[in-house]
Structure 1
């Protein structure tokens, strides 16, 4: 099997048939009156995994997290943690801790007292509390801020205090509900890597809820993409991006171009598609069966498409159109090309050189081209 995307770490228990899931959602349904927030959902998460629940607002991801934390009970189904059914176990008895988007720090307490609060509630001896708090402050690099109160800290520092308080009790599972939503873009990107390093160092299982695709792709070992209370796909970030299993997932994660048409010819590993205007493209379909004249969709990411003023001599698939829009983003330039059949194609060109060899501007005639293996055939 070909590797998709960048190689992450070797940790991949979901590929081991003998590995036992650490967290199991077994046919879980959650209803609020007539509204079904989670619909007969089954999902497994492994120990020490950094797992992301990704979806738009209202898809059920936070409800799933709250049921795992014990703030909500399933209407039907079971949730198991390390083989134990969690039904009826109150939140404070579960070996999990939750970090909220608002951080929920005590404004009248110093940083060290915020971190120590849960340990005091558990009755830990004072010398042990002092050592644990010192360890947590060192872990999140806030030793010099121990005596400050939350209002004297930046947003990123408050986020780290909340994180230190969450892991101070050493839960088996840390739940993070939109943990970076209150941070600005640059700080959010820096904190993503800090969270990854922290999770590796602590060896905990992290389950994060987010609507930010880039955040999930950066941090998670696997991602569950949710819609209307159901899981649409569970896979590693490269698999979700390069091999989506549905149009919904392809559209939701990143940008994508959909070339629709009918099967004109089927070979051993390639399919010739005839589009609505009669234009044809050749795609590799990995052996997927496609009957003659059947409707088919080929999804291609913008960075896999080349834009040029002349038709490339070696192009298997090349379609002509007109430059409709251009966005210069510094590291790349995004082109919107309106094909002669009316379809808008989005293409991203990396600005590897300071001077563009083949400059294109608005209303220029242009060709978009891509390899037969540049995308994926979608059946649904």
Structure 2
């Protein structure tokens, strides 16, 4: 499904869209102290969360963290043990799934194998008793939307994985729900098609003006499509923020480690003043300085989190003004095309540091290789201090 040539750029829209920052904004979806237990197991543990109209929101976390259970409660397939879920101000308690203005696209797509593409898309409309002329017009509209007009009479087994995914999407959208729920919708697609479809989903969501809620364990997918992300673990919300905030300002070690790659330097604060914190890290055999306004006392145990792409590496000694210098030996190299990842053992320690370098040129006069002795450093504002 190629992007439309004349489509508008989403940048201006997404940059200005932040209703969660407006104290007067009324959320479309509200979870209030929601708990869900299955016997002795607590799948969702006291979750309170607001999702706004036209927001593309992601629930992100590992398997078993409660994200799908939270979505299923919104859809009506599960009932909260306690707490309240409202949609457009209406309490959803006791409202059956087919009476809720939401629709769900399942990971398996759940297409009817004996029906054609058009019949699959029309199924929900037929169940609702929509007049035939109106139903045919809606199916035609959905086929055009997902660019499957030539495949209307085919059966699911005659389609590719990407085409089946689009049929499931069209069927979910046909009833024009207020909220579309997407449960790991791209998991069955290959990497390239998945990446293409992520941008198509963003475009489609803006075109339709709907609220999308996606459940995924894929950090890159959530970072790409979502306006905001809720990171979950053991049934609890750990952090809710924009992708940039989640990546650059994780609020704990779990989020820092779960989202992308990270170097964590355990250490003890030696001083904190003037917006700079100094810490001693025995595991790295070094002292570091980092920019932070956190109220920390000498002796506090912390971790300094530094993303691999913010580390600098060279075969030559760093400039005299460089901060946080280290020396090490290259233990392993992964060439990924656009990036090269280096695993470097810090001199005199067992600490392994991960460094990512953008391959901005096609060749280097002297590329860094295995067993090379190298110099590392990073800026004071490159890292984030974490206390938990």
In structure 1, the residue matched to 2:42 is 36
Residue pair 1:173, 1:207 contacting (<8 A) in 2 also: yes
* 2:353 is the counterpart of 1:345: yes
Q: Which residue of 2 aligns with 1:69?
A: 75
Residue 287 of structure 2 is matched in structure 1 by: 280
Displaced runs of 4+ in structure 1, greater than 3 A?
Answer: none
Q: Does 1:93 align with 2:99?
A: yes
Q: Say which is worse superposed, 194-203 or 274-283, in terms of deviation.
A: 274-283
For the residue of structure 2 that corresponds to 1:362, the secondary structure is coil
- Aligned-partner SS, 1:317: coil
Structure 1 residues not aligned, in runs of 5+: 1-5
| Corresponding residue SS for 1:124 | coil
CA deviation digits over 1:80-104, x for unaligned, max 9?
1011110111000111000001101
Who is 2:53 aligned against? 47
Q: CA deviation at 1:317?
A: 1.3
Distance 1:197 1:46 in 2: 18
Which structure 2 residues correspond to residues 102-121 of structure 1 after superposition, within 5 A?
102-121=108-127
Give me the whole-angstrom Cα distance separating, in 1, the residues matched to 2:62 and 2:385: 25
* Among candidates 324, 327, 331, match of residue 320 of structure 1: 327
TM-superposed deviation, 1:191: 0.6
TM, length-normalised to structure 1:
0.97
Match 2:371 to one of 360, 363, 368: 363
Note if contact 1:30-1:74 (Cα within 8 Å) is conserved in structure 2.
yes
Alignment gaps of 5+ in structure 2: 1-10
Give the TM-score of the pair, scaled to structure 2: 0.95
For 1:373, what is the secondary structure of its paired residue? helix
1:15 alignment partner, one of 3, 21, 25: 21
The question of 1:375 aligning with 2:376 is answered no
CA–CA separation in structure 1 for the residues paired with 2:307 and 2:41: 35
Alpha-carbon deviation of 1:60? 0.4
Q: Which residue of 2 aligns with 1:176?
A: 182
- CA drift of 1:310 comes to 2.0
* Residue 332 (1) aligns with residue 345 (2): no
The yes-or-no answer on 1:252 pairing with 2:258 is yes
What secondary structure sits across from 1:47 in the alignment? coil
1:197 aligns with 2:203: yes
Instruction: Give 1:291-306 correspondences, 5 Å limit.
Output: 291-306=297-312
Q: In structure 2, how many angstroms separate the alpha carbons of the residues matched to 1:9 and 1:138?
A: 29
Q: Give the distance between the partners of 1:203 and 1:108, measured in 2 at CA.
A: 32
8 Å Cα contact 1:308/1:358 also seen in 2: no
Deviations for 1:352-375, whole angstroms, at most 9, x for unmatched residues? 011124422111111111100012
What per-residue deviation string (whole Å, max 9, x for no partner) do you get for residues 43-66 of structure 1?
A: 110011000000000000000010
Per-residue Cα deviation, 1:109-141 (whole angstroms, up to 9, x for no partner): 111111111111111111101111111000001
SS of the residue aligned with 2:364?
coil
State the alpha-carbon separation in 2 of the partners of residues 251 and 370 from structure 1: 19
* CA apart distance, 1:332: 1.1
Does the CA-based 8 Å contact 1:174-1:204 persist in structure 2? yes
Offset at residue 311 of structure 1 (A): 2.1
Partner-residue secondary structure (3-state), 2:356: strand
Alpha-carbon distance, 1:259 to partner: 1.3
Cα RMSD of the aligned pairs, angstroms, is 1.2
